[in-house]
Chains A and B, each alone.
Chain A
C-alpha cells in the first residue's frame, strides 16, 4: 500500500502537484489525467528524482522520501520511463541482470530469475541480443522486465502503451494484470489509453493541473462529471 499525504511539488512558479492526498491499496492501480496533469512528476517524487516542497509518502509502512534515490530500487521500488530507457549497449539478459545485481538479488538465482522476468513480459528474442538492435516494442518489454525482476514491491509504469498498435496493447494489458499475482507487487499504471486502464485497474485516481479530482473504482471514476470536464477539449476519449 502507498499512502501519499498532502504532497506539493513546486518548480519555480509552476506547481505540478498541489496538495495531493492519495492511497494506492494494492493490485494494479490507475493514475490518469490530461497532459501536464502531474502524473510523471508524481512518479519522479516516488523515485526520488524530484524532492517535494511538502508532504509525505509511506509505502508498506516505510517512509519512502527518507531513502536515498538509488536505495529505493533495492527496497523494491521499480519504474519504467515515459521515454523508454532500456540500456542499448547491453544485451537483453544484462539489462535485466544489472537491475537484479544492484537490487540485492542473489547471485545463485540470477540466471533463473532474469530469464523468468524475460519470460513473464513475453519477450521472444535471444537474451544475448543487444538492446540497441531491437525494435521499439521489444525495448519497452525489456524495460518492463527490468522493473519486475527479483523482488519488486512497487512497479510504476509510465505510459507503457504509448505508440503501440491496438493488438499489442491487449497483450500488454494481459501481461500487466499478471504482475501483482506473480511478483507480489503493487502496480501503478499511468496511461492515456482508457481501454488499457479499464482492463487492468480496479481502482483509478485522476489528476488535473496538480489536483486530485477523483479516485475510486475505475468505471465510476470514468463516468465522473468532473473527470469528463477535465478531459473536455482534449483529444482523448474516456
Chain B
C-alpha cells in the first residue's frame, strides 16, 4: 500500500518518441517514393512510347482501385469484391456529369468521387453486419448485378434522358480532358499526380484517429468497442473513403483512352483484382502499385510477347498461393526484406573483415 504518490508524469520514460530507427526508415522510404515518382512523372513520358504510356496510365488508375481494396482488406479487415463494379459506376457518373454539365474536369472527377462515395457506403450499409465470406459474396453479387445493368444501359455518350445513351450515334463514351492536360503525355502525368494524392489521403487517414480505430477493429471488434470506438461509424467511413477513391479512378478512366465500354468491367475482374491485391500485399503502401502493374501491365506484356491471356489467370492463381504460403504480407514487403537481408549479409561480412583489422 506504500506506493509513492505520483500523478505528474515524472515516471514517464525520457526516451524520444517515436524511436530513432523509425525516423531513419521514414527517410529511406521518402527517398524511395521520390525516386519512383520522378521516374513515373518524367522517365516514362521521355520514352515517347504511346502504347506503354497508355498501359502505365491505366495501371496507375487501377492502382487507385487496388489501394481502396487494400485499405478495406488490410487496414479494416473488410473484403469487397465490388470495387471493379464501383469503378464502372464512377465512370458512368463522370460521363453523365461531363455530358450534362459544364463543370471543369477536375470538379467532375471530384464530384464523381463524392457521389460514388455515398453510393458505395449505402451499398455497404446492409453488408456491415456481415463479415468475411458473407460480405465477399454479397459484394460479388452486387458486381454481377451492375455488370448486367450496364449491359442494358450502356455508358453515356451524349444522348438525352437520365441514361444519356443514344444508339443513333457511334460517338464514344469518353470524358473531355481538361485544357491543361489534353495531350496524352500531360494526361498521363495528371493521372500519376492524382494517384499520388490518393496515396496521401490514405496515409493521412492511417496515421490519424481513424487509422488507429481501424487497426483495433481489424484485430478485434470487441477490443475496439471496449476502447470507445464507434465501430459502425468507422467501418462506414472506410467504405466511404474506399468508394470515393474508386469513383475518382472511374472519372480518370473515363477520359483515359478511347472511351468506356461495358466489356471493360466483367465480373471476374473483381476476383482478379483481389488476387493481384493479395499478391502485391495489403499491408504495405507499395502493394497497390505492384497490384496495378500486375493487373494492367502484365497482360500487356503477355500480349506483346504473343502469349495467351488465359495464362494470366493461372499465373495469378499460382502467385496468390506462393504469396500466401511464403510471404503473407505480399510481394511489396517481401522484396525489400530480401534486399535488407542481402544488405545485412554483405554488411556483416565486411564488418567482420574490418573488425579483424582493429586492434583487439
Contacts and interface: CB of A to CB of B under 8 A. Distances in A.
Given A98-B227, A128-B18, A115 B215 contact: no
Contact of A87 (B17, B223, B225): B223
A47 B12 contact: no
Contact of B3 (A73, A115, A177): A177
B223 A81 contact: yes
A185 to B, nearest CB: 13
B126 interface: no
Contacts of A79: 226
A206 interface: no
A3 B254 CA distance: 62
A8 B219 CA distance: 30
A174 to B, nearest CB: 7
Nearest to A178: B3
A236 interface: no
A128 B229 contact: no
B308 interface: no
Contacts of B6: 182
Interface residues of A, number: 46
B213 A98 contact: yes
A6 interface: no
Given A70-B231, A81-B222, A99-B227, A90 B11 contact: no
Contacts of B306: none
A179 B5 CA distance: 11
B7 interface: yes
A85 B18 contact: no
Interface in B1-55: 1, 3, 5-7, 9, 11-13, 15, 17-19, 22
B15 A127 contact: yes
A69 B209 CA distance: 19
B157 to A, nearest CB: 46
Interface string B219-243: 1101101111111000000000000
Contacts of A49: 222, 225
A131 to B, nearest CB: 10
Nearest to A48: B225
A225 to B, nearest CB: 30
Interface residues of B, number: 31
Given A48-B225, A94-B212, A98-B227, A115 B12 contact: yes
A101 B209 contact: yes
A85 B222 contact: yes
Given A177-B1, A181-B3, A70 B216 contact: no
Interface string A88-128: 11110110011101111000000111011011100010111
Nearest to A122: B11
A81 B225 CA distance: 12
> Which among A69, A88, A98, A101 has the highest number of chain B CB atoms within 10 Å?
A98
Contacts of B177: none
A98 B219 CA distance: 14
Contacts of B231: 70
Contact of B12 (A102, A112, A146, A181): A112
Contacts of B215: 87, 89-90, 94, 98
A115 B10 CA distance: 9
Given A85-B222, A118-B13, A119-B12, A146 B227 contact: yes
B205 interface: no
A60 B101 CA distance: 59
B218 interface: yes
> Which among B9, B209, B225, B226 has the highest number of chain A CB atoms within 10 Å?
B226
Contacts of A153: none
A74 B207 CA distance: 22
Interface string A44-81: 00011100000000000000000001111110001101
Contact of A115 (B9, B220, B222): B9
Interface of B: 1, 3, 5-7, 9, 11-13, 15, 17-19, 22, 209, 212-213, 215-216, 218-220, 222-223, 225-231
Q: Which 4 A-B pairs have the closest CB atoms?
A: A73-B228, A128-B18, A119-B11, A115-B12
13 contacts: A70-B228, A94-B215, A103-B227, A116-B7, A116-B11, A119-B9, A119-B11, A120-B11, A124-B13, A127-B15, A128-B22, A146-B227, A181-B5
